[in-house]
Amino acid sequence: MKKAYILKRLFMVIPTLLIATAIIFSLLHLARSDPIEIMVRSSGKPMSPEIIEPLRARYGLDKPLYVQYIHWLVNLLRGDLGYSYVTNQEISNILPRKVMITLELVLTANIISMTFALLLGVIAAVKKNSILDNLLSVFALFTYSMPLFWVGLVAIYLFSLKLGLTPVAGSFTAGAHLEGIQYLVDHLRHMILPAGILSCAYLAYYFRLVRSSMLDVLNEDYIVAARAKGLTESTVIYKHALRNALLPIITFFAVSLGFVLAGSVVIETIFGLPGLGRFLVTAAFQRDYTALLSLNAVIVMMVVFANLFADIACAYADPRIRY
């Protein structure tokens, strides 16, 4: 039964990816600037039809939209993400390094924030309306409402410019030619501030989710029943309540990937980290249509697979999920 559910869920990934990429594809075509125009303009050649038309034919841009989409999709399946007219580079060559930087940032921040969110969220929910709960809740709402770009600027001002503790930007010291452990230390010094800020931002978000999820569960009848059976409070909370509260939390974590990536767009831009987020903003500025398309496709895939993973994890954690 479980296998059938997982297979069904896996099968659903295909139409989701197809429709999502089709939406992005059409959106980019709605009001896009002509990529050939951008290419010709950046090369400094005159904009004459003799130059533009052969190029358009060469890149298949003279064909109907759906043919272009299918063409792009076939190439994507082959691992060819296209050629950026603006930077004159194969996207597949530059993307992996950028994905690594973003993953490093986002995963570190996620692990730190999730650990603290689970710990603090459970405490706050169990001691609902206590001074600690109120303090934590206000602090979370406070952090949650801060514009992230402002927090980034203040952190740079404080830690980099005033105290001189961390470097201002980049993922390593340019031109230092460090190797081995020295490179690692240098890299960590660059990442600690952006990762720290993202952790705080995610913590505020996750804390609210964990707390409300725990509160919902603590109100359930089976918790009352567990207490009535005379179980110890810690057994009730950790074995009965937290286990059940974890299901929506797992789903929330996967759904939050969009929120998480949005945060990294802002932080990468401010700290000059060469990850996916900064690449997206640069591509948006340059109207680099191929880069935007493949970036969105990669991000959508990440979200879809995170959701798939969460659903499968839930199916294993919750015996009630049967299809």
Partner 1 sequence: MSDDVTPDKAQSQWVLALRRLIKSRVALLGTSVLIVFILVGIFAPILAPYNPDRMFYGQETVPPFSKGFFLGTNSVGQDVFSYVVVGLRTSLYVGFGALAIEILIALLVGGIAGYYGGVIDELLMRFADVVMTIPPLILLITAVSMLRVRSLSLIIFFMAFVNWPWMARVVRAEILSKKEEPFVEEGRSMGFSKTYLLVRYIFPTILSPVIVLGTLDVAYFILYEATLSFLGLGDPTSISLGILVSIGRSVLVSAWWVSFFPAVVIFLLVFSLNLMGDGLRDALDVKTKR
Q: Does 269 bind partner 1 (CB under 8 A)?
A: yes
Of 203, 289, 310, 311, which lies in the binding site for partner 1, with binding defined by CB under 8 A? 289
Of 6, 9, 28, 312, which lies in the binding site for partner 1, with binding defined by CB under 8 A? 28
CA distance 227 to 211: 20
Cβ–Cβ < 8 Å for 218, 121 = no
Nearer to partner 1, 153 or 178 (CB): 153
CB-side neighbour CA atoms (13 Å) of 179: 0
What string marks each residue from 144 to 183 as x (binds partner 1 by CB under 8 A) or -? xxxxxxx--x--xx---x----------------------
Nearer to partner 1, 40 or 291 (CB): 291
Q: Does 1 bind partner 1 (CB under 8 A)?
A: no
Q: Does 281 bind partner 1 (CB under 8 A)?
A: yes
Of 102, 113, 290, 307, which lies in the binding site for partner 1, with binding defined by CB under 8 A? 307
Site for partner 1 in 185-244 (CB under 8 A): 212, 215-216, 219
Of 40, 209, 242, 265, which lies in the binding site for partner 1, with binding defined by CB under 8 A? 265
CA distance 115 to 191: 19
Sign of the CA dihedral with 139 first, then 141, 142, and 147 last? positive
Nearer to partner 1, 191 or 254 (CB): 254
**Residue partners of 280: CB distance under 8 A and separation at least 6:** 265, 292, 295
Of 238, 259, 309, 323, which lies in the binding site for partner 1, with binding defined by CB under 8 A? 259
Nearer to partner 1, 161 or 174 (CB): 161
Secondary structure (DSSP) of 60-102: TTTS-HHHHHHHHHHHHHTT---EETTTTEEHHHHHHHHHHHH
Residue type, position 39, single letter = M
Residue type, position 225, single letter = A
Question: How many residues sit close enough to partner 1 to count as binding (CB under 8 A)?
Answer: 53
CA distance 274 to 102: 8
CA distance 149 to 142: 15
Of 55, 69, 139, 258, which lies in the binding site for partner 1, with binding defined by CB under 8 A? 258
What are the φ/ψ torsions at residue 84 (nearest 5 degrees)?
A: -85, 120
Judged by CB under 8 A, the stretch of 26-34, 46-54, 63-71, 178-186 that binds partner 1 is 26-34
Nearer to partner 1, 186 or 312 (CB): 312
227 CA to centre of own chain: 40
Cβ–Cβ < 8 Å for 260, 252 = no
- Under the rule (CB under 8 A), what is the footprint of partner 1? 15-16, 19-20, 23-24, 27-28, 30-33, 141-142, 144-150, 153, 156-157, 161, 212, 215-216, 219, 255, 257-259, 261-262, 265-266, 269, 280-281, 283-285, 287, 289, 292, 295-296, 299-300, 303-304, 307
